[in-house]
Structure 1
Amino acid sequence: MPATLPCSDPSRYQSTRNQALRLFAERGFSRVSMRELADYLGIRPGSIYNHIESKEALLFELIEELYDELLHGARQVCRQAVTPAERLHGLLDAHLRLHASMAAHFRLAEYDSHCLTSEQQAQIRELRARYEQQLVACVECFTGQPVGNSQRAALSGIVTLLNQLPAWVETPQLSAPARLDLLRDMVLSTLQSALRALPD
């Protein structure tokens, strides 16, 4: 069941989710009370549960949405890429481009997923593991070598880097394509260094 309870007006439903997302990203999920969320949404505190199942359910829905989009992008890259290099670069580019439109989702996924219930955290870990496996497959195809356990751990760290790097690097002087090139090069450099440094 959606965390924001659907109403007859889909645009209002989406607006409620987007406003909550913005507030969580600005303030931090754990710092926002239900009363504050109700005030921000323009809803009376006593009736907020008519609009939102719970804060945690909404947070889960937003993070789940992010990983669904990442997996969708990875599947598209796999269908379109011709060479192993195109597949790896395409996956990194799709991830970094998504950050431009879902930056708040990435922030919640990285910094607030611990606020979810144990069951919700397990579901998000499963989605992330499926995405990490896409990166593992790309690297194995690119290098022609199987990825060992320590390398899998390093690739998990690369996913964290992909999730956070665009928010760290401020490059107002660069065009969007030049910024994407810079971020991709930074990730590739880190990826190559990590795989060289680790034993199989």
Structure 2
Amino acid sequence: MPATQPIPDSSRYQSTRLKALSLFASRGFSTVSMRDLAKHLGIQPGSLYNHIESKEALLFELIEELYEQLLHGARQMQRRAATPAEQLHGLLEAHLRLHASMAAHFRLAEYDSHCLASEQQAHIHELRARYTQLLVECVEQLTGQPAGNSRRAALNGIVALLNQLPAWVEAPEMSPTARHALLRDMVLSALGGALRAPQD
């Protein structure tokens, strides 16, 4: 499914996207009406469609953007890493770093994807499956054995953990570096458990 086409005047559209993203993430997509969105953007409700195609199309675009960024970062790690272990650790690090810069996107992806049309949901599911497969391939190269159904299920859970964990761990007394290290250690601990679990 092709990405939603941006409305002309890209600078204005990018500003609209960022404001809408902030509102959707703070209040939840389903609670934001078109009138709420128009008010937040500082425009009349009747002119909203001059700025966006639709509320749902914008949500789809934002979630799609997140998974495209995740896939891009994972593929870069594949090219750069010298060993399977470096590749796996690089993928996890890239995911956590992206969460730091796209936290609102992750919020929408995890909690509001169900608001998308079925075709849009299917496309997002496909992107997530592609990303999970890259993680599976990293683990298979590291262990030297194909991943069975139980390990694939566990790795799918690791992706969900990566998507949600940074929002769960509130540690204002910690430095950003220390918090990142804590998140990485928690993910690696969960990953270690997944790797120790018996195969099918």
TM range (shorter): over 0.9
- Pick which of 87-96 and 147-156 moved more: 147-156
Residue in 2 that maps onto 1:75: 75
- SS of the residue aligned with 2:181? helix
Report how many aligned residue pairs link the two structures. Answer: 198
* Distance in 2, Cα, partners of 1:49 & 1:188: 45
Identity %: 75
* Distance in 2, Cα, partners of 1:94 & 1:127: 17
- SS of the residue aligned with 2:7? coil
* Distance in 1, Cα, partners of 2:141 & 2:101: 29
Shift of 1:52: 1.0
Shift of 1:173: 2.8
* Distance in 1, Cα, partners of 2:8 & 2:160: 32
- The CA RMSD over aligned residues, in Å, is 1.3
Write out per-residue CA displacement over residues 69-121 of structure 1, whole angstroms, 9 at most, x where no aligned residue: 00000011111111111111000000000001000000000000000000000
Structure 1 segments unaligned to the other structure (5+ residues)? none
Query: What stretches of structure 1 move > 4 A for 4+ residues in a row?
Result: none
Residue in 1 that maps onto 2:191: 191
Residue in 2 that maps onto 1:61: 61
* Distance in 1, Cα, partners of 2:126 & 2:44: 36
TM-score using structure 2 length? 0.95
Which amino acid in structure 1 is aligned with residue 119 of structure 2?
Answer: E
Aligned partners of 2:30 and 2:112 also within 8 Å: yes
Q: Are the structure 2 counterparts of residues 3 and 114 from structure 1 closer, same or farther at C-alpha, using a change threshold of 3 Å?
A: farther
Aligned partners of 2:151 and 2:197 also within 8 Å: no
Residue in 1 that maps onto 2:84: 84
Residue in 2 that maps onto 1:140: 140
TM-score using structure 1 length? 0.95
Aligned partners of 1:16 and 1:41 also within 8 Å: yes
Residue in 2 that maps onto 1:182: 182
Which of the residues 2, 5, 8 maps onto 1:6? 8
Which amino acid in structure 2 is aligned with residue 81 of structure 1?
Answer: A
Shift of 1:150: 1.4
* Distance in 1, Cα, partners of 2:160 & 2:42: 35
Q: Superposed, which structure 2 residues align to 1:146-185 within 5 Å? A: 146-185=146-185
* Distance in 2, Cα, partners of 1:198 & 1:58: 42
Shift of 1:167: 0.6
